[in-house]
Amino acid sequence: MNAIILSALLGVVMMFSGIITNNKSVLKYIAAAGLLLLIAANLLDTYALFKININTHGLLSFEKFGLYFNTLAFGATLVYVCLSGSDIEKAGINVAEYFALIFFVLCGISILSGFNGLLMLFLGIEILSIPLYILTGADKRNLKSNEASLKYFLMGSFTTGIMLMGIALFYGATGSFALNAPAIIPTTGGINPSFLQVAALLLLFVAMAFKVSAAPFHFWTPDVYDGAPGVFTSFMATIVKAAGFIAFIRLFQSQSVVLGPTWKIILSFVIIATLLIGNITAVFQQSVKRMLAYSSIAQAGFMLFALFAGNDLAREGIILYSVAYSLATIGIFAVLIKMSDYTFDGFNGLAKKHPVLAFTTTIFLLSLAGIPLTAGFFAKYYMLAAVVKEGGALWLVIIALFFAAVSVYYYFKVIQAMYFKEGDAETTEITGAFKTGLVLLAAFVILIGIWPSIILNGFYF
Amino acid sequence: MIPVFLILLPLLTGIVGFFIKEDNAAKGWALLSAVLTLVVAIAGIYFYPSIQQSFDSAWLPALGSRFTLTMDGMSKMLVLLTAVSFPLIFLATYKNRYKNAGSFYALMLLTQAGLMGVFVANDALLFYFFWELALIPVYFLCSLWGGEKRIAATFKFFIYTFVGSLMMLAGILYLYFQTADHSFAWQSFYAVQMEPSQQSLIFWLFFVAFAIKMPIFPFHTWQPDAYEQSPTATTMVLSGVMVKMGIFAVVKWLIPFFPAAADKYAQIIIVLSVVGMLYASLIAIRQDDIKRLIAYSSIAHIGLMSATLFTNSRVGLEGVMIQMFNHGVNVIGLWIVADAIEQQLGTRKLSELGGLAQKAPVLAILLVVMAFANIALPLTNAFIGEFLMFNGLFSYNIWIAAIAGISIILAAVYTLNMVQKVFYGNTTVVTENAIDISGHIKLALVVLVVVVIALGVYPQPMIDLTKDTVGATMAGK
């Protein structure tokens, strides 16, 4: 509960700090300090040292898993603010509001990691989404940004409708919003409630699949990610998406039983479609930003494996995957924002001009591709291991690995541009602090790649 | 502790190498590191007790993976090959100029660390790590310092091997969940009892990875392009040492785990290998580029080793062990000659060369010895290896042995043809002003020639060194 309350408060604080000071970079430091405070408050909650308790009648429940995810999400946001904070300042005029909105998103994330009733799921998703619609349109004078924002808003609200419909049917079937509520046994005639529940779950599945951009509900992703200002795409594609997955897993780990064997059939269809569309389309992109949008769909395909396996290994895996994927993507976007040309050709010759940038980007790309010695390898490893452990789906693993090989193609295209092609990669000014930040982040990515336990031990200690 | 040093030494010196700005200093540093590794390898293998030859430490307890390094006979032999190759490669290419020499030599040393790791890892996950670690630096080496078409060729190479590695990863995962104690240790994998029907799929998952690396027909198409386009020093590593990863892995990580599947599919694999031998030999005859010629000749030689592996014959396996080392030595020798010619004359085309024996008699003599070794003439090291392998193949199926035997004749055709076109006949415009090779290349080649003849006359040390692996592999069947 600490995190939910504090993040909402910090959002308000950020909003008003825009009135007090006109100095944009001060805001960045306030935000960073706020995030540290948030992490501390969440840790106090995790270790039961100090927690605010409000009786929510079972709509929220805070376990180690969710709280630990909060810590990691806040930590990743801190990394994001440190690396790209100065670019948030440049995204538009209302800098204080952007930071405020980011804190509101974090509030949504903390609800999603602790919801125990569908009402809270709905609230969490909305608190998370509405600030994103605004952030997507932050670049007011850019037509593409406006288009993306409107598109996202329309599609998003439509999905919210579907989700509400699902929640209503669920309530009809069980008479409760609680996740673990059993279906009511019908005493008189009427519609069989288990049918209602199945319909409800399918609607919820569609809504959640939309939020994590799983195919065939992914169509908004490339346009929104491409149209939004780069700094905010970075945030949306990483931390927000990971939170979506946590909610997805929370929702279906208790409910997938209701769907029976159909569940795995539907899910394997979605997984294969997501991997196929994400990877194959990414191959043909000319713009690195758009490629990253499709790659984020492809990565979602891998994250869906956690849902498919649904065991302990999968729960550990989704945490590791979220961290590995988020850190690497935040790093790449931080570099991408500095480039004046977002196409692959814009990266030509970066290695000569800024060897540090090129080298760290290479580490991040290798991590996304899942090459050993980087965090991405163990992330993929855990996902696949979780599925193999369940048994019976080795074919799915082999398909996924084929697509992992495809992903090497487009990730390595960036490496080829940076190292092997001649060119004059134009960047905005690169500060020493930025380089140091990137190097530290890259070192951390490698460290996780050697000892994933540094992330996973958080579950147990 | 010895295997740890063998990995750490090139790894750390490699990382330091990135920061050396001065070209000659980088070369010296790399050579020093490689020589030190050689000393550690020889001392570790011959003079230290066996307790020092393995290492075990916790790594990922939650996954059941340990940092376990061991050296059996085959590992020792390949560690020796790796350790011997690198100083010779650095020596022979000492005068070559590279842009950013520091990074070039650093990546070479990282490759060496990866190779050492592959040969000593005794834990499947660790093995997979090193398998990839050996690949990544090579990707950058070839793409940054290679020939004209380097980017496409290297990328093809990378994607091929990466797909293979991923298939192997799926296989490793499957086997891991079959182990009784949920461990990646080689022993645990070995203890898994699988039904023959279960073995098939997993067998192929592993085999594809190894077949691409070797490479055997029809997985070989990356190889001639990659060999041709890579800087020659890297090609030497690729063909001299790295292809042995595939054969090594079949002996250590495939046949012991899936004996039933290995028997079941032996015929398919042997036929593919033999087809590859003839196919590569025939193409080699038609090549005008020395590098491509050696590349195809290498496919033919590897094909023989791969075929013999599955004949289930003790003598054959002994032959493969000897030949792994010998092929490494011989092919590096040939590459050194090719590189010496290219560096001096600026061409690798047979049609533009000729009469070089008059201008460079020392090079000619040394090449002829290397060429004889490539054809496996008696008194050269390759003779005994090929003899044993054909012996194994013969006991498996006389017709296959006979067909494979044609490749010996073809090897003589393309190798002697090359020798003749490069060294004899009239001098051409290109070779008119050629001079003999300089001291450092001479030294590298003389060392190789001594090894070729010494092991040709007295191959016993290699047989003794790998005795235990041969015994263990045959006992498991």
The whole-chain average pLDDT of chain A stands at 89
Tell me the mean pLDDT in the region B29-50: 89
Q: Quick: pLDDT tens for A359-393.
A: 999 999 999 999 888 999 999 999 998 998 887 78
Q: Cα–Cα distance between B418 and B210 in angstroms, integer?
A: 30
Taking CB atoms and an 8 Å limit, are B129 and A391 in contact across chains?
Answer: no
Q: At what angle do helices A312-338 and A288-309 cross, to 10 degrees?
A: 170
Average confidence (pLDDT) over B455-473: 86
Locate tokens 């979506």: which residue?
A244
How large is the angle between the packed helices B222-229 and B290-309, nearest 10 degrees?
140
Identify all chain A residues contacting B159, using CB atoms and an 8 Å cutoff.
405, 408-409
List the single residue in A371, A388, A394 with the smallest CB-CB distance to B136. A371
Mean pLDDT for chain B? 88
State how far the Cα of B71 lies from the Cα of A44, in Å rounded to an integer. 49
| CB neighbour list of residue B52: distance below 8 Å, 6 or more residues apart | B1, B2, B44
- Residue B36, judged by CB atoms within 10 A of its CB (0-12, 13-18, 19+), counts as middle
Kindly tell me if the per-residue pLDDT of A344 is higher than 80.
Answer: yes
| Contact residues on chain A for B174, CB-CB shorter than 8 A | 388, 394
Kindly state whether A349 is in contact with chain B, defined as any CB-CB distance less than 8 angstroms. Answer: no
Check residue A184 and give its pLDDT: 66
Give percent of chain B above pLDDT 90: 30
pLDDT for B262 equals 87
Indicate which of B66, B111, B140, B169 best probes the interface with A, i.e. most A CBs within 10 Å of its own CB.
B169
pLDDT given at position B64: 82
Mean pLDDT, rounded, for B114-121: 93
Inter-chain residue contact B132 with A451, CB threshold 8 Å: no
Q: Are residues B227 and B291 in contact, defined by beta-carbon separation less than 8 angstroms?
A: yes
What was the pLDDT predicted at A238? Answer: 93
CA nearest to A449 within chain B:
B129
CA distance B46 to B59: 29
Q: Which residues contact B419 (CB under 8 A, 6 or more apart)?
A: B367, B368, B371
Rounded CA separation B300/B283 (Å) = 10
Predicted pLDDT of residue B434:
78
Return the pLDDT at A194.
77
- Buried b / exposed e along A245-276 (16+ C-beta atoms within 10 A): bbbbbbbbbebbebbeeebbeebbebbbbbbb
Pick from A122, A386, A405: nearest CA to B209: A405
| Spatial distance between the Cα atoms of B418 and B413, rounded to a whole number of angstroms | 9
- Does A405 contact B205 at a Cβ distance shorter than 8 Å? no
Contact assignment for B60 to A452 by CB distance below 8 Å:
yes
Task: List, for residues A230-279, the tens digit of each pLDDT value.
Answer: 899 999 999 999 999 999 998 988 888 788 888 889 999 999 999 999 99
CB contact under 8 A, B60 and A398: no
Establish if A408 touches chain B: CB-CB under 8 angstroms: yes
- Residues from chain A that touch B136, judged by Cβ atoms under 8 A, are 366, 371
Per-residue pLDDT, averaged over B208-219, amounts to 88
Interface A-B: count of C-beta contacts within 8 A: 67
Q: How confident is the model at residue B477 (pLDDT cuts 50, 70, 90)?
A: low
Give yes or no for residue A185 having a pLDDT over 70: no
Q: Do B158 and A412 touch (CB under 8 A)?
A: yes
- Place B117 in a pLDDT band, splitting at 50, 70 and 90: very high
pLDDT tens-digit series, residues A86-103: 888 888 778 888 999 999
First to last CA, chain A: 20
Q: If you average pLDDT over residues B68-75, what whole number do you get?
A: 88
Of B128, B158, B170, the CB nearest to A372: B128
Residue B438 contacts residue B343 (beta carbons within 8 Å): no
Q: According to the model, what pLDDT value does residue B217 have?
A: 83
Domain residue extents for chain A: 1-252, 261-461
A396 touches chain B (CB under 8 A): no
Q: How many other CB atoms are found less than 10 A from the CB of residue B24?
A: 10
CA–CA separation, A401 and A386 (whole Å)? 14
The ipTM estimated for the assembled molecules is 0.87
A459 close to B (CB below 8 A):
no
Tell me if B74 sits within 8 A of B427, measured CB to CB: no
User: Looking at chain A, which residue has its C-alpha nearest residue B144?
Assistant: A420
Whole-number pLDDT of residue A461:
65
**Model pLDDT, residue A361:** 94
Q: Decide if A391 touches B, using CB distance below 8 A.
A: yes
- Name the minimum distance, in Å, from the CA of B85 to any CA of chain A: 26
**Nearest Cα residue to A135 out of A219, A234, A69, A220:** A234
Tell whether A412 lies on the interface with B, counting CB pairs under 8 A.
yes
